[in-house]
Amino acid sequence: MSFLAAVLVLSAVISFAPTAAPSKSNYPIAKPNCDDHCGNVSIPFPFGLTPDCSLNSDFFINCATSIDGSPTPLLGHGNLRVRRISIEGQLIVMKHIAKYCDEGNSPQDKSSWIRLSKQYVNQTANKFIAVGCSTTATVLGEDNGRSYQIGCIATCNRFQGVPNGTCSGIGCCQMNDIPIVTRNLNFKLETKATKTDGIITDCSYAFVVKKDEFHFSSDMLTQQWEVQRMPMVIDWVIFNDTCSNSGRTCQGNTTCVPFEGPDGGYRCACEKGYEGNPYLHPGCLDIDECADDGQNDCSSKNATCFNTLGGYNCTCKAGYIDDAKGGGCQLPIKYECKDNNGKGCHSSNRVNFVAMGVALGMIVLLITVFSLYWEHRRRKSVQMKEKFFRENGGLILQQRIVQGGASSSTTRIFTAQELEKATNNYDQTKIIGQGGFGIVYKGHLLDGQVVAVKRSKIMDTTQVEQFINENKDKASVLPWSTRLRIATETAEVLSYLHSAASPPIIHRDVKSVNILLDNDYTAKVSDFGASRLVPQDKTQLTTMVQGTFGYLDPEYMQTHHLTEKSDVYSFGVVLVELLTSKRAISFDGPELERNLSQHFLSLLKENKLFKILDGNILCQENITEELQEVALLAKRCLYFKGDDRPKMKEVAMELGGLRRATKHSWANNSETSIESQALVMKQSISLKDHLELPLSSRYGR
């Protein structure tokens, strides 16, 4: 071979030899001749610091100079500071917080908002926080006609006992997740600053923040918090386009991922086995899994790694063979077989060894398959139990028990084994009733308590929703006479608290959940934790707002003046619930129907009352006039001004008159019986004396 030929052959070998893929840190992130940093923030394409360096104007980053002279990246031409850009589709920006301090003529920056044109606020990576001692904070979101409003209340009356690291409502409250995909957010404060023990400041704060970047400290209540901005996560996408047109944006070795938003859009991502910037030519580059970074498992299989495009292969090392199980490589097995005479085994003996090996392998395989099957059954059973637990409100009940929302001494969650033991393994002799999807058994707990246990007839996933909703189905046929009696008895108790108790008592948290029913549907008013005593020389109290959304007196929320008419308004909402079997607040339907009392008053004004009444009670005869009278009474209770509302004594008398007119049996109306009922109520809360259900559970809530 001539010298020239040798050189040509050597050149060909070199040109076709595989080259090592560049490390991930060496991958370019910006277009050629474009800066890829603003200060210490990386700016990956499709973002850029000039129009030529970005995909389009939606991805322009303005590298401005801050007051201290340092470069600061701003989104577009606005003032939204960018802290980090993720090529996977997220931006972390620094957003102003809403802040208010009661300091005379100091600026009142009670609200903060964000308006995004081509990005979305991330639904799950953020949370809404309010900090303060008398603070009501709300966040409003809107996009393409869809809107929502959520909020929380933070209260405290002394510095001692304010827990660090948790936002449970004492000094700090929070709402996790953003309900809808939105580009517009507005969060604002409503606060009444009151000095308590001289330590707590008069400042309140509200903001949306990245979940893992805020930890509450009680120090925020004792001194002004100097933080002006908090990090928020927003999503970016290739806007107003679909994956069918992604070929001009998504480069080589990439895939298009559609974005589930109201305006569509998509993102580009590297295919498996590739990495880099999927938007930057020539696209994602092959990962060398055989490099010394632990991305392959060949060494554990006694094999050598060979890199391939988008993956790798493991080849057995010299002296090893494939183990025929697909799990790796092994050394060849040498068999030495001799008969009783010391001679080599006959072919029949070798066959026996092979047969024994095959049989042993089959046994091991069967045991493995059987074990995997039972493990699968066990996991599926556990998952199904957890699913039922969640769907039946178990997590919410558990959380309320832990946080004190339900009495820990009277509320328990039982295991399936405990219920089986209580019902003697669901003995047929203990059946006390049947429903469309379940059977009710009488049970006895170890402490002697008698309980009712409802069990599904058929363990069929298609029937889960019907079984869960059967309380609602049964409650919907609750006769009007019973509902009227519940309303009358509740009104009598509140009338006694306002007019006969000395000093008078304002309940302050009247709602359907706090009206308990025993086995005879006798109403008992519960939960006096928020109640206030009214001095004899006063008719109103000035307090921080406390109560439940949907039941709160709007005049009380504006003036902070608590009167007995605040209970009247809340009772009016309960009356509407009894008439309609609907929730006081619901986010399931149209926006105009989310607040029950407002929707009810709107239909009543349009003379469309029967459009909202429960259809099951409308089917009952000769009660149309009663329903109209109760509806008008509810309307009077819901007047905005407290002075225009009737007193609870008048409400109780009107409801009592309706009951007597319909010739239904009802309890003694004397003040003595009312006082006895109010006193019995404290005992009826405990499961030791009565098995009671909240009124709301009778209506499937």
* Residue ranges per structural domain of the chain: 90-236, 245-286, 397-471, 480-698
Cβ-defined contacts of 578-583 (< 8 Å, 24+): 578/483, 578/484, 578/486, 578/487, 579/483, 579/612, 579/613, 579/614, 579/617, 579/627, 579/630, 579/631, 579/634, 580/612, 580/613, 580/614, 581/475, 581/476, 581/614, 581/616, 581/699, 582/612, 583/550, 583/701
107-113: long-range pairs with CB below 8 Å, 24+: 110/188, 110/189, 110/190, 110/191, 111/186, 111/187, 111/188, 111/189, 112/186, 112/187, 112/188, 112/206, 112/207, 113/184, 113/185, 113/186, 113/187
**Phi, psi values for residue 437, rounded to 5°:** -130, 5
- In whole angstroms, how far apart are CA 19 and each of 14, 272, 287, 682, 697? 10, 20, 12, 81, 69
Q: Please give the Cα distance from 572 to 585 (Å, whole number).
A: 14
- Residue 456 and residue 441 in contact, taking contact as beta carbons nearer than 8 Å: no
Q: Which helix (H) or strand (E) holds 394?
A: helix 394-403
Domains 397-471 and 480-698 share a fold: no
d(CA 85, CA 6): 52
Stated pTM of the model: 0.46
Tokens of 534: 């009214």
Round to whole Å and give the CA distance between 632 and 629.
5
Q: Which DSSP letter does residue 275 get?
A: E
CB-based contact 320:302 (threshold 8 Å): yes
What pLDDT is stored for residue 36 in this prediction? 93
Q: What is the pLDDT of residues 218-265, one digit of tens each?
A: 888 888 888 889 999 999 999 888 898 888 899 999 999 999 877 889
Report the pLDDT averaged over residues 64-72.
89
Question: Alpha carbon of 598 to those of 16, 149, 582, 612: distances in Å?
Answer: 77, 16, 13, 12
Q: Tell me, what's the pLDDT at 9?
A: 30
DSSP 129-187: EEESSEEEEEEEEEETTEEEEEEEEEE-S-STT--SS--BSBSEEEEES-SS-BSEEEE
pLDDT band at 23 (very low <50, low <70, confident <90, very high): very low
pLDDT > 80? residue 400: no
Q: How many C-beta atoms lie closer than 10 Å to residue 577's C-beta?
A: 28
Length of the chain: 701
* H or E element at residue 236: strand 229-236
- Locate 427 and state its tokens: 């003995």
Residues labelled as active-site residues? 509
> Is the pLDDT score of 11 beyond 70?
no
Q: Is 343 left (phi over 0), alpha (psi -120 to 50) or beta?
A: beta
Asked if 602 and 594 count as a contact pair (C-beta separation under 8 A), the reply is: no
End-to-end CA distance of the chain: 92
Taking 90 as the threshold, does the pLDDT of residue 113 lie above it?
A: no
273 in Cβ contact with 311 (< 8 Å): yes
Name the average pLDDT for the chain. 79
Which class is domain 397-471? alpha beta
Q: List CB contacts of 522: < 8 A, sequence separation 6 or more.
A: 489, 667, 677
- Note the pLDDT of residue 27: 77
Report the half-sphere exposure of 466 (CA within 13 A, side-chain side): 12
**pLDDT level of residue 340 (50, 70, 90 thresholds):** low
Task: Describe the crossing of helices 480-495 and 564-580 by its angle, rounded to 10 degrees.
Answer: 170
Which pLDDT does position 414 carry in this prediction?
81
Strand partners for 126: 210
pLDDT tens digits for 537-561? 666 677 777 888 889 999 988 888 8
> pLDDT (tens digit, 9 = 90+) per residue, 149-176?
889 999 887 777 788 888 988 889 999 8
Work out the percent of the chain whose per-residue pLDDT is above 90: 32
Which tens digits make up the pLDDT trace of 180-224? 888 888 988 887 755 556 677 778 899 999 999 999 988 888 888
- Angle, helix 480-495 to helix 624-637, in steps of 10 degrees: 30
Looking at per-residue pLDDT, the higher value among 336 and 268 belongs to 268
Task: Calculate mean pLDDT across residues 487-501.
Answer: 91
User: If you compute the radius of gyration of the chain from its CA atoms, what whole number of angstroms results?
Assistant: 35
Encoded tokens for 444: 């006895």
| CATH match of 480-698 with 1.10.510.10 | yes
Residues 6+ apart with CB under 8 A from 184: 113, 114, 115, 116, 141, 142, 143
Please check the confidence at residue 569 and state whether its pLDDT lies above 60.
yes
Report pLDDT digits (tens) over 571-621: 999 999 999 988 898 877 788 888 999 999 999 999 988 888 887 787 666
Of the listed ranges 421-425, 505-509, 658-662, the one predicted with least confidence? 658-662
For residue 319, give the DSSP letter. Answer: T
Confidence of residue 524 (pLDDT cuts 50, 70, 90): confident
The half-sphere exposure of 452 on its side-chain side, counting CA atoms within 13 A, is: 13
Band the pLDDT of 430: cuts 50, 70, 90: confident
- Nearest C-alpha neighbor of 530 from the set 558, 554, 502, 497: 497
Q: In whole angstroms, what is the distance from residue 512 CA to residue 571 CA?
A: 9
